[in-house]
């Protein structure tokens, strides 16, 4: 018996710009099963026609993707937004068909590609557990055996008999992940959906995925969280513009090259909203930059002792007391170092927003960061209510390189140990020295 769980050969997907992809519901598949041979011929003809048509309004979301996944292997898939990661998982989940090539999958597939994938909003949580199990090919006895574990993991027992259309996004997320992870598919496909939950639930999900992997099941994990990728995955695939840029088992080295390459593609430390991205009813960011004290963009690399400010420009459409913005700072390997937000201090010190054009900024202290490369993601939210721009998910990024200026000390002319590199003041406090120590000038061996 082959040990290959997934084999993709020449997998490609082409879209026509402005045309929506038509997805089929389960009832459509059942109703049209008789006409499958005729549809196959027609589909092949349409794909050929699409390939031969004018390519000005066509894009390749995936192009000539080849790879194999062994049974029990955990593979991380990374890449910038639009690289083709979600398209790949949708093809493997049989949600959409490839334009060219094919994928052979050996085993029952469970997928979690977006919140509540496969859920019927009119059914209760209890009914959706059984429905999802049936879609995955589980027998009723198997679902019953795991039912209590699913409910306990999702923490929705009080709302089990409530239609899921009344669930919050967090409740939806917890139940969707619990079903996908507990119904024992041989292959689990997980897109970047864990960011919907709170920190405690994200840790819980990552722990469950680790347990799934150790149980010998195959996992394909798409994420922007490099720390989670490094911790969970045995190998990694980097997608860029629909093609595999790099793959292999040296996960940390590949991540470092990916992060360094992303930093080199940025000319300077400024992001400008050139289109209509991030439109919402409250605040639209127009510029995100690292500047000097005069608001002028700083070119990279920057000395550790330079004046550095993180600056956010935008337009406030309507005022809301929960308005919150700032940035998340990540180390080169993807570890989150800290968040800095406009609401961090006392309420009296918060920026007083007004409708119209807006500029806020915050200083990165001198000699605070170590020598190295960093990523900053924009944050805009209505505190505890909704994300407008979410770090690690859909946020624009800046890349900051720190080189030199670490300290006035003759001892530290090179990067300091550790992630951070603060130069903090120290004082000799004679008034705090114990009298018994002042007179102690000898030591016994």
Q: What are phi and psi of 365, to 5 degrees?
A: -55, 145
Question: What is the torsional sign of CA 412, 414, 416, 417?
Answer: negative
Give the pLDDT confidence score for residue 445 in this predicted structure: 47
Q: What H or E segment, with its residue span, contains residue 251?
A: helix 251-264
Residue 71 has pLDDT above 60, yes or no: yes
Residues 81 and 41 placed together within one structural domain of the fold: yes
Integer Cα distance of 74 and 304 in angstroms: 39
Global confidence as pTM: 0.58
Give the number of other CB atoms < 10 A from CB of residue 169: 13
In a domain, 344, yes or no: yes
Q: Quick one: 219 and 86 in the same domain?
A: yes
- pLDDT of residue 409 exceeding 60: yes
Which residues, 6+ apart, have CB-to-CB distance to 188 below 8 Å?
Answer: 109, 110, 111, 112, 180, 181, 209, 212, 217, 218, 219, 220
191 and 257 in a single domain? The answer is yes
> Does residue 177 lie in a domain region?
no
Residue 328 maps to which CATH number?
Answer: 2.70.50.60
Do 289 and 355 lie in a common domain? yes
Residue 24 — pLDDT band, cuts 50, 70, 90? low
CATH, residue 32? 3.40.50.300
User: In terms of residue numbers, what domain contains 21?
Assistant: 4-107+186-263
pLDDT band at 193 (very low <50, low <70, confident <90, very high): low
Tokens representing residue 50 in the block: 């699409």
Strand partners, 376: 329, 398
pLDDT in tens, 321-368: 899 999 999 987 778 899 999 999 998 999 999 999 999 999 999 889
Q: How many CB atoms lie under 10 A from the CB of residue 150?
A: 24
Q: Are residues 86 and 223 in the same domain?
A: yes
Does residue 240 sit in the same domain as residue 303? no
Confidence class for position 272, pLDDT limits 50, 70, 90: very high
Do 237 and 296 have their domain in common?
no
> What is the rounded CA–CA span in Å between residue 183 and residue 140?
11
Residues 253 and 398 grouped into a single domain: no
Label residue 96 by pLDDT band (50, 70, 90). Answer: confident
Q: Are residues 311 and 234 in the same domain?
A: no
| Non-local CB neighbours of 83 within 8 Å, separated by 6+ positions | 239, 240, 241, 242
Question: What is the arithmetic mean of pLDDT over 69-89?
Answer: 88
In contact, 81 and 24? CB cutoff 8 Å? no
118 belongs to a structural domain: no
Let me know if residue 222 belongs to a domain. Answer: yes
User: Among 238, 263, 288, where does a domain finish?
Assistant: 263
- The tokens describing 133, both together, are 């199990």
Q: Are 315 and 377 members of one domain?
A: yes
Across the beta sheet with 58-70, the strand order is 58-70, 4-16, 100-105
CA distance 118 to 169: 15
214/97 same-domain check: yes
Q: Are residues 250 and 376 in the same domain?
A: no
Q: CA 337 to CA 391: how far, in whole Å?
A: 13
Indicate whether 204 belongs to any domain. yes
Of 263, 295, 330, the one marking the end of a domain is 263
Q: What are phi and psi of 357, to 5 degrees?
A: -60, 145
* Domain end (from 233, 263, 293): 263
CA dist list (Å): 388 to 231, 277, 323? 29, 11, 10
pLDDT above 70 as % of the chain: 81
Bridge partners (DSSP) listed for residue 238? 78, 246
In a domain, 141, yes or no: no
Indicate the number of domains in the chain. Answer: 2
Residue 28 lies in a domain: yes
411 in any annotated domain: no
């Amino acid at each position: 018996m082959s040990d290959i769980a997934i084999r993709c050969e020449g997998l490609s997907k082409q879209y026509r710009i402005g045309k929506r992809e038509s997805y089929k519901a389960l009832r459509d598949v059942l109703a049209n099963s008789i006409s499958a041979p005729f549809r196959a011929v027609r589909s092949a003809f349409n794909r050929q026609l699409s390939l031969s048509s004018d390519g000005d309004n066509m894009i390749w979301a995936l192009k000539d993707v080849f790879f194999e996944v062994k049974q029990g292997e955990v593979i991380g898939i990374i890449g910038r937004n639009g690289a083709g990661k979600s398209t790949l998982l949708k093809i493997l989940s049989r949600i959409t068909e490839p334009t060219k090539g094919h994928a052979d999958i050996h085993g029952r597939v469970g997928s979690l590609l977006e919140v509540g994938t496969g859920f019927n909003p009119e059914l209760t949580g209890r009914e959706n557990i059984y429905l999802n199990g049936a879609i995955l090919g589980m027998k009723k006895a198997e679902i019953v055996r795991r039912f209590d574990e699913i409910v306990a993991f999702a923490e929705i027992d009080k709302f089990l008999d409530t239609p899921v259309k009344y669930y919050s996004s967090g409740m939806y997320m917890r139940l969707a992940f619990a079903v996908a992870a507990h119904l024992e598919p041989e292959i689990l496909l997980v897109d970047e959906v864990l960011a919907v939950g709170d920190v405690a639930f994200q840790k819980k999900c990552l722990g469950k995925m680790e347990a799934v992997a150790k149980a010998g099941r195959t996992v394909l994990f798409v994420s922007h969280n490099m720390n989670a990728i490094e911790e969970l995955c045995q190998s990694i695939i980097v997608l860029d513009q629909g093609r595999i840029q790099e793959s292999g088992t040296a996960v940390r080295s590949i991540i470092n090259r990916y992060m360094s390459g992303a930093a080199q593609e940025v000319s300077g430390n400024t992001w400008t909203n050139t289109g209509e991205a991030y439109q919402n009813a409250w605040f639209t960011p127009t510029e995100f930059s690292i500047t000097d004290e005069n608001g002028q963009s700083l070119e990279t690399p920057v000395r550790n002792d330079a004046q550095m400010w993180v600056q956010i420009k935008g337009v406030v459409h309507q005022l809301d007391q929960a308005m919150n913005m700032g940035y998340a700072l990540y180390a080169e390997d993807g570890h989150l170092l800290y968040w800095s937000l406009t609401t961090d201090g006392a309420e009296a010190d918060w920026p007083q927003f007004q409708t119209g054009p807006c500029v806020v900024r915050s200083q990165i202290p001198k000699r605070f960061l170590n020598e190295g490369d960093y990523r900053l993601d924009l944050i805009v939210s209505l505190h505890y209510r909704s994300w407008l721009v979410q770090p690690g998910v859909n946020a624009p990024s800046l890349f900051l390189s720190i080189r030199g200026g670490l300290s006035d000390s003759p001892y530290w002319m090179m990067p300091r140990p550790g992630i951070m590199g603060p130069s903090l003041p120290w004082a000799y406090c004679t008034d705090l020295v114990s009298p018994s120590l002042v007179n102690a000038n000898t030591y016994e061996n």
